[in-house]
């Protein structure tokens, strides 16, 4: 009882303590939840149909595409420009597929596994012809090659004795195949959707007949053209009400022009290049003179090239001419084997070069080979390798030997493009040199660091000249002192002119040029086409009108200095009526309408082409072969579809007056009506219209993009 009484006496305090504890627990969970949401937001790269697109998901797609591209270019790393192009392609393909899948799901469209397999079996997709599984004679996809590869892949993955390096190569090809397989499925779904959409716009005998006549009925006219330039702009100055009315009209007629899918910014900026000084060039020349002497005297050329920090590696393996830089390939025509050139400048890529021309040989551009590998370098492994080698030399079938050692030994091709300029380890170099120097039908045994391999060369194609050439190619870079001098001068100018209006007023006096860029979007990668401006791009989207950025180092090697000023913000959605770009467009359209009204009023009372042709700036001409299907082009003016329609509808001898066009107002008299030779084939015409409908179905994608409510925040993740 005493204990109970004590608890009661402390009840208020206990409730308060428990309440605080409960609040702390709830607060902790709330903080956790908010932190989780913030982390999720930090990983969100955009939205489609209100669904978040995760950065990791997008990155995995990029890896798939990059693996596919690398396999196509011999494993070479992509340049920055190629990486940007790849990321944009991945994003656009992802959006397109998300939209197609969204629409297809609503319609119940799918691509079954059986349908996919049928496409692969028949090789009906063009994508399949981009794979390695192509018959070299027919150029067509060969499903049997694919099946053989997949079988070999499974066997090799389960074979612990197979070298890991070759397993990884096969893994790359397997990942590539899975990527292509997914692309084929996506393509098939898109084709289904497009076919269904195209079938909604059916042809019929009446429209087929009209389309035939639109192409085959020709009209010749005597034309008088009165250009809008004949009326002064000052005589038809638009009012605010007229501009607003035109805005309302055009925004409904051309939604793609007026509806912004993402936010954008207008900016002004100054870019200051940093280039090497004369002292910088002199120092580089002296350094390369030393490396030239080293190339002439050194027994280890590869080591000298490596120490020189050349942008082109050297591995001692002759390379094809097409793999060499264009300036070096051209130079080889004018120097002899054994020559080492003095340091020379190539303005095209802003480099200084030293070249040692070692040898010229003839080798195949591609080699087909089969290989059996024996892991290990102990006596047992070496004895097995010798046994395999001797058996093949004696004429034993390689398939029989390979089966005996549980290896596929499938025929493979290696090309010059796959190895030219690559950084090769000693074992790789030995392997490559053996392949390109071994006659077809010959067998070679190579003892490598951790294995022995027996290679049989089965075919050699396209014997070409190859070049053993060591290249020291160095960019003509500016020194730190030069960079600091340019930086200090520009930063002093910005410190003295902190506001946007100050910069614009005084830039020219200091030799700086203020430039403009409109509608910088969140999907852009550069400012002013200068690489390395992602920080400036992020700043642009976080800033307000009138803000001036810090001084950024940009370019491929901090060789550009950049300052940015935000001049306008365009929100997502309909463009504002006051938008400067729209104002000019609206003004041009209102001017056209008002000038057309003035010219039409003057022409109303005129009864002939000759009379209209007497008007100011008017021209008279004869136009033949006008059809309804193709807009007539008036020399010096514009393409005029309205005129084509009016001429087709008019009768022979009829005078038609005051036709408003894109560049002026027209009057004409029909001189002749002709029908081209050709017989109307209803079935053929309807088939052509159906085909055109299929192509025009692609035009609906822009409307679907707007419907998808896409948010593109990729700029937050640019590196």
Domain CATH for 336: 3.10.50.40
Residue 655: its pLDDT value, please?
A: 96
- What is the C-alpha R_g of the chain? 36
346 and 448 co-located in one domain:
yes
Domain-located, residue 700: no
The rounded distance, in Å, linking the Cα atoms of 717 and 53 is 13
Q: Across 274-378, where does the E strand assignment appear? A: 319-320, 344-346, 351-375
Please indicate, yes or no, if residue 238 is contained in any of the structural domains: yes
Of the pLDDT bands very low, low, confident and very high (cuts 50, 70, 90), residue 451 is confident
Find the mean pLDDT for residues 339-343: 94
Burial 201-211 (b: 16+ CB within 10 A, else e): eebeeeebeeb
| Residues 447, 468 within the same domain | yes
**388 neighbors 489 (Cβ within 8 angstroms):** no
Question: Same domain for 380 and 455?
Answer: yes
Q: What is the CATH number of the domain that holds 141?
A: 1.10.4030
Tell me phi and psi for residue 310, to 5 degrees: -65, 145
- How far is Cα of residue 236 from the mean position of the Cα atoms in its chain? 45
pLDDT tens sequence across 191-239: 898 888 877 777 788 888 888 888 899 999 999 999 999 999 999 999 9
Nearest to 315 by CA among 414, 475, 431, 412: 431
Residue 531 has a pLDDT of: 87
* Residue 62 covered by a domain: yes
If asked whether residues 187 and 244 sit together in one domain, one would say no
Asked whether residue 695 is domain-assigned, the answer is no
The total number of structural domains in the chain stands at 5
My answer on whether 289 and 402 are in the same domain is yes
Q: Which of 114-123, 465-474, 685-694 has the lowest mean pLDDT?
A: 685-694
Q: Are residues 514 and 531 in the same domain?
A: yes
Containing structural domain, residue 240: 214-261+579-675
| 329 belongs to a structural domain | yes
Q: Do residue 240 and residue 269 come from a single domain?
A: no
Same domain for 233 and 195: no
Q: Residue 18's pLDDT band (boundaries 50, 70, 90)?
A: very low
| Mean pLDDT taken over the chain | 87
Q: In this structure, are 318 and 467 located in the same domain?
A: yes
Q: In sequence order, which residues have a C-beta less than 8 Å from that of residue 576 and are 6 or more positions away?
A: 570, 582
Contact 83, 54 (CB under 8 A): no
Question: Which of 431, 452, 475 is a domain's end point?
Answer: 475
In angstroms, rounded to a whole number, what is the distance separating the alpha carbons of residues 141 and 120?
9
Kindly state the DSSP code that residue 499 receives in the 8-state scheme. S
3-state secondary structure of 363: strand
Q: Are residues 432 and 303 in the same domain?
A: yes
Distance CA 688, CA 682 (A): 10
Q: Are residues 315 and 389 in the same domain?
A: yes
Domain boundary, last residue among 427, 447, 475: 475
- Residues 108, 103: Cα–Cα separation, whole Å: 9
* Residues 327 and 397 placed together within one structural domain of the fold: yes
Residue 673 scores a pLDDT above 90: yes
In a domain, 300, yes or no: yes
Does the pLDDT at position 699 exceed 90? no
pLDDT at residue number 562: 96
CA distance 273 to 270: 10
Last residue of a domain, one of 447, 475, 503: 475
Cβ–Cβ under 8 Å, residues 680 and 209: yes
Predicted pLDDT of residue 74: 64
Q: What is the pTM of this model?
A: 0.62
Mean pLDDT computed over 276-282: 94
Residue whose pair of structure tokens reads 């909604």 in the numeric block: 200
Which residues have a Cβ under 8 Å from the Cβ of 212 and sit 6 or more positions away? 678, 680, 685
Q: How much is the average pLDDT of 527-555?
A: 91
From 135-139, 338-342, 472-476, 713-717, the region with the lowest mean pLDDT: 713-717
Residue 639 forms part of a structural domain: yes
Any domain includes 287 = yes
> Pairing mode, if any, of strands 451-475 and 319-320?
antiparallel
CATH code: domain of residue 492: 3.10.50
The Cα 149–Cα 147 span in angstroms is 5
What's the whole-number mean pLDDT along residues 8-28? 46
Write phi, then psi, for 148 (nearest 5 degrees): -65, -40
In this predicted structure, the answer to whether residue 13 has a pLDDT above a threshold of 50 is: no
């Amino acid at each position: 009882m005493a204990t109970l009484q004590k608890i009661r006496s402390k009840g208020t305090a206990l409730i308060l303590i428990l309440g605080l504890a409960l609040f702390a627990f709830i607060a902790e969970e709330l903080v956790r939840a908010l932190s989780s949401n913030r982390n999720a937001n930090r990983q969100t790269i955009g939205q489609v149909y209100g669904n978040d697109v995760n950065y990791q998901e997008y990155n995995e797609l990029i890896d798939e595409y990059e693996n596919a591209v690398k396999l196509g270019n011999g494993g070479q790393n992509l340049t920055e420009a190629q990486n940007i192009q790849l990321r944009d392609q991945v994003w656009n393909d992802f959006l397109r597929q998300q939209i197609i899948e969204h629409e297809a799901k609503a319609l119940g469209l799918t691509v079954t596994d059986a349908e996919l397999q049928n496409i692969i079996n028949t090789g009906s997709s063009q994508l399949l012809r981009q794979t390695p599984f192509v018959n070299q004679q027919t150029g067509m996809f060969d499903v049997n090659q694919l099946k053989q590869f997949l079988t070999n892949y499974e066997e090799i993955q389960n074979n612990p004795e197979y070298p890991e390096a070759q397993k990884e190569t096969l893994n790359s090809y397997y990942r590539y195949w899975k990527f292509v397989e997914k692309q084929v499925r996506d393509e098939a779904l898109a084709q289904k959707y497009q076919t269904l959409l195209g079938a909604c716009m059916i042809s019929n005998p009446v429209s087929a007949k009209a389309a035939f006549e639109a192409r085959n009925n020709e009209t010749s006219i005597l034309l008088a053209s009165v250009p809008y330039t004949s009326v002064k702009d000052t005589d038809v100055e638009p009012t605010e009400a007229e501009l607003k009315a035109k805005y309302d009209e055009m925004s409904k007629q051309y939604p793609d022009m007026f509806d912004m899918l993402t936010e954008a910014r207008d900016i002004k900026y100054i870019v200051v290049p940093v280039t090497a000084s004369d002292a910088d060039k002199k120092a580089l020349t002296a350094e390369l003179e030393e490396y030239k002497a080293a190339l002439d005297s050194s027994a280890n050329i590869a080591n000298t090239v490596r120490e020189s920090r050349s942008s082109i590696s050297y591995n001692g393996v002759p390379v094809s001419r097409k793999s060499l830089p264009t300036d070096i390939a051209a130079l080889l025509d004018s120097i002899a084997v054994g020559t080492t050139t003095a340091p020379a400048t190539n303005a095209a890529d802003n480099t200084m070069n030293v070249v040692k021309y070692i040898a010229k040989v003839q080798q195949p551009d591609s080699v087909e080979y089969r290989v059996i590998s024996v892991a290990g370098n102990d006596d047992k492994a070496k004895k097995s390798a010798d046994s395999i080698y001797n058996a093949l030399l004696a004429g034993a079938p390689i398939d029989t030997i390979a089966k005996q050692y549980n290896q596929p030994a499938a025929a493979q091709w290696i090309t010059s493009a796959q190895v030219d300029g690559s950084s090769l380890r000693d074992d790789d170099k030995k392997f490559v040199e053996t392949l390109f120097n071994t006659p077809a039908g010959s067998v070679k045994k190579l003892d490598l660091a951790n294995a022995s391999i027996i290679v049989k060369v089965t075919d050699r194609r396209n014997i070409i000249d190859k070049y053993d050439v060591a290249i020291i190619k160095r960019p003509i870079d500016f020194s730190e002192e030069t960079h600091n001098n340019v930086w200090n001068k520009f930063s002093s100018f910005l410190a003295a002119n902190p506001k946007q209006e100050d910069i614009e007023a005084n830039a020219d006096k200091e030799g700086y040029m203020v430039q403009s860029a409109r509608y910088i979007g969140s999907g852009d990668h550069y400012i002013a086409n200068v690489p390395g401006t992602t920080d400036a791009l992020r700043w642009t989207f976080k800033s307000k009108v009138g803000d001036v950025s810090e001084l950024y180092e940009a370019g491929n090697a901090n060789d550009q200095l950049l300052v940015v000023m935000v001049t306008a913000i365009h929100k997502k959605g309909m463009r504002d009526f006051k938008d400067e770009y729209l104002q000019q467009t609206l003004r041009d359209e209102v001017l056209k309408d008002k000038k057309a009204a003035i010219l039409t009023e003057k022409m109303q009372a005129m009864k002939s082409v000759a009379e209209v042709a007497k008007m100011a700036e008017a021209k008279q001409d004869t136009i033949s072969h006008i059809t309804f299907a193709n807009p007539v082009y008036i020399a010096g003016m514009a393409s005029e579809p309205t005129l084509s329609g009016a001429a087709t509808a008019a009768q022979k001898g009829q005078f038609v007056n005051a036709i408003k066009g894109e560049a002026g107002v027209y009057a004409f008299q029909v001189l002749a009506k002709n029908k081209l030779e050709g017989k109307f084939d209803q079935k053929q015409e309807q088939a052509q219209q159906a085909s055109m409908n299929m192509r025009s179905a692609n035009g609906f994608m822009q409307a679907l993009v707007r419907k998808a409510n896409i948010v593109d925040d990729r700029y937050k993740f640019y590196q």
